[in-house]
Amino acid sequence: MKILSIVGARPNFMKVAPLHRVFTQAGSGIQSKIVHTGQHFDEKMSEIFFNQLSLPKPDYFLGVGHGSHSEVTARILLGFEPVLHKEQPDLVIVVGDVTSTLACALVTQRNGIKLAHVEAGLRSKDRSMPEEVNRILTDQISDYLFTTERSALNNLMQENIPEDKVHFVGNCMIDSLDFYSSRTKNIEVCYEFGVLPQKYILMTMHRPSNVDSKDGLMKIYKMLKGIEDHQTKVIFPMHPRTKAKLVEFDLLNLFCDQEQLIITDPLGYIEFITLMRYARLVLTDSGGVQEESTYLNIPCLTFRKSTERPITVEVGSNLLLDELDPSTAVSKICEILNGNIKKSGIPEFWDGKAAMRILEILKHSIKS
């Protein structure tokens, strides 16, 4: 069986890495190839991710680059179809919810090739988010839908997806976190950033609702100013989108002048997870960070109106704040810094074996 796995943005690497690893093990009967669309591409960071996750150089790199959703989708449609014609795979695997996910899914379905969606069924119920539309449409045309939590099963049932297509397997991103656990315990990484373990906050912010306006960025700034009295350092690996908006609104120097704020370029996977592991608290608007912090039992405040990963709130350490109101955020941050921490657990099937479950389902499918 020949499988093409698609990566397009950074979160995709952590989900494809465990799949490629189990696909290429002896006796799997699977030929695994990787297609990198280049939707989000930084040569230095891409190389770091492939090296750290032990992924081979992609078999194909489409180099679609940046642009509007329509432009990127069109480039992927045109770039991926010749790859399908050449390779004639038995199955294409798309992961997550980025533009590459839906675009490659559309090409695959139109060419009559089986399609699998890893991380299927997640729903925020907010269709103003491009990712939500990507998730819904990809699930509608997939032949295999591999889910990470039980809420996804309910969502797919309500959308009339045939039950025999849906498989609850767990979370491939947690597979990576578990597999590389020993490499993300190097406490020296904290010292390299001038912080002590459990004495700093890790923050990521990149959602349009939070960073695409001057008002949103100023709310983040006021939140950070509001916790200055705690003298707690905040490490902020800055997403290119966020940096571009800070420059556009002439706010970058204002952020850089904050003494407790440590701004860095985007980090490699190992460095980022290490910093998360030893953080006192995580502030984010990212989907994947909600999952990783839950597994590591690190308190997390998520600045979103809704989350497509409700399990992280139900059993995990994640707290959803539906609006980035500085005073509310400061109050919650101070509560956590003062020791008021929500008890959490690890969700069902988040055990490092999701990719192996997917392999077994596909092998059974081949035999039948």
* Residues ≥6 apart with Cβ < 8 Å to 38: 8, 61, 62, 63, 64, 65
| DSSP conformational letter for 265 | P
Beta-bridge partners for 145: 117, 166
Whole-angstrom distance, CA of residue 177 vs CA of residue 53: 10
Query: In whole angstroms, what is the distance from residue 177 CA to residue 352 CA?
Result: 8
- How many C-beta atoms surround the C-beta of residue 196 within 10 A? 13
Residues with Cβ within 8 Å of residue 227, at least 6 apart in sequence:
201, 234, 260, 330, 333, 334, 337
DSSP 320-336: EESS--HHHHHHHHHHH
Catalytic residue, from 66, 206, 239, 364: name it. 206
Instruction: Tokens 């069902």: give the residue.
Output: 348
Give me the amino acid identity at 209: S
* 321: Cα within 13 Å, side-chain hemisphere: 22
Catalytic residue check, 69: no
Nearest Cα to Cα of residue 224 among 215, 233, 216: 233
DSSP string, 162-183: -GGGEEE---HHHHHHHHTGGG
* DSSP notation for 275-317: HHHT-SEEEE--HHHHHHHHHHT--EEEESS--S-THHHHTSS
Identify the bridge partners of residue 168 per DSSP, sorted by sequence position. Answer: 147
Q: Which residues contact 26 (CB under 8 A, 6 or more apart)?
A: none
With tokens 């405040």, the residue in question is 301
CA 250 from centre of chain: 29
Q: Which residues are catalytic?
A: 206
